Amino acid sequence: MDPYDFVLWFCLGIAMTVLGVIYKDKCPAEPYIPIYLIVAGATRVAICILIPLKLFYKKAAMVVEGILCLFGLCWLITGGVWVFSQHSLMPINCNLDLYYFAFGTLIIECFVIVLFGSLAVAVAYFTFAEAGRVFYYIAWILLSIVMTVFGALFINFCPIQPNVPIFLIVAGVVHFMIIILQPLKRSWFETPSFILQSVLVLFYFCWLIAGCVWVFSIANIYQGYCDEYLYKFAFRLLIFQCAFWGSWVILLLYLTIKSRQRNSSYERLHGNATESPGQLWDLDCIVDIFPFAFFFY
């Protein structure tokens, strides 16, 4: 880390912790906002302190740093829910200096994470995939962030079906985790990441069905009882996702059938073979024609 960045993040962590302590009882509308600042600031300070310790205890410091970074990301998402959910209720019974500081730091950190996270993932994934896959990879990451932030911003804006914004938040987080696990499948963490990713995909599929029930069930009665932007975003997202998954399943079944037909023909002509040209061609086509299929490639 650059020395200027180190000083910047260390001072930001101190400021978040101090401001959270000073205004700990000044936000009755959402008392978790100052707690979020205290914990987030302390986590950032701890991460900064671990950097020089890598010179003496490299492995231990890297393990602790990884745990703190993962916790910091989860805590950032939690803080976003607490802070953004109050923005739609302004003015609120909360100290404005505290609230706007928390709101501003969340916006900046989300932007930094999306920017550098996307660049880091793109660089890492370039080792294993073509540029076209990286483009789709980054696009899906951005969609996950938008889903989570949109659901958090409008979490109190759909009283007729409060599960709609919750659906967006959970779907965005799970979607993000599925994508982040993808590069690990090409490393030493291949088997555990594949198992975890498969479980998350299965959960996401079930959660998508639940979202369809919640969103489509109020299609004719949402006006006046659910924010129009929230509902239309969730509605169109579900239409896209259903079309996407349906097309993927149909394409995968088609290519699987074609692959077996080619393998049978190849075996009849050349005898038993462990891998035929037809099988390789079909696996590549699944990835090239339908980018999301590289989760299972």
Identify whether 222 is part of a domain: yes
pLDDT tens figures, 85-104: 777 665 678 888 898 899 88
> Of the candidates 84, 111, 138, which is a domain's last residue?
111
Find out whether 128 and 287 touch, Cβ atoms under 8 Å.
no
Find out whether 7 and 46 touch, Cβ atoms under 8 Å.
no
Same domain for 200 and 85, yes or no, is: no
Nearest one of 139, 164, 296 to 228, comparing CA atoms: 164
Same domain for 86 and 183, yes or no, is: no
Position 67 scores a pLDDT of 87
Position 1 scores a pLDDT of 58
Query: What is the average per-residue pLDDT within 240-269?
Result: 73
Find out whether 144 and 128 touch, Cβ atoms under 8 Å.
no
Task: Provide the mean pLDDT of the chain.
Answer: 78
> Of the candidates 86, 111, 136, which is a domain's last residue?
111
Same domain for 277 and 136, yes or no, is: yes
Identify whether 3 is part of a domain: yes
Position 187 scores a pLDDT of 59
Same domain for 19 and 92, yes or no, is: yes
Identify whether 118 is part of a domain: no
Same domain for 52 and 153, yes or no, is: no
Q: Which amino acid is located at 69 in the chain?
A: C
Is the whole-model pTM more than 0.75?
Answer: no
Which residues span the domain enclosing 38?
A: 1-111
Same domain for 166 and 267, yes or no, is: yes
Tokens describing residue 175? 């979607």
Same domain for 65 and 136, yes or no, is: no
Alpha-carbon distance values, 66 to 30, 51, 252 (Å): 29, 12, 36
DSSP structure class, residue 297? -
Same domain for 101 and 173, yes or no, is: no
Overall domain count for the chain = 2
pLDDT band at residue 134 under the 50/70/90 scheme = low
Same domain for 185 and 293, yes or no, is: yes
Same domain for 63 and 88, yes or no, is: yes
Which three-class secondary structure state does DSSP give residue 170?
helix
Radius of gyration of the chain (CA): 23
Identify whether 121 is part of a domain: no
Same domain for 183 and 292, yes or no, is: yes
Identify whether 279 is part of a domain: yes
Find out whether 125 and 32 touch, Cβ atoms under 8 Å.
no
Find out whether 127 and 182 touch, Cβ atoms under 8 Å.
no
Same domain for 163 and 275, yes or no, is: yes
In the chain, which residue ranges form alpha helices assigned H by DSSP?
Answer: 3-22, 32-53, 58-87, 96-125, 131-153, 163-180, 190-216, 228-270, 277-289
Tokens describing residue 163? 């599960």
- Pick the more confident residue, 118 or 222: 222
CA 293/CA 285 separation, integer angstroms: 10
Identify whether 101 is part of a domain: yes
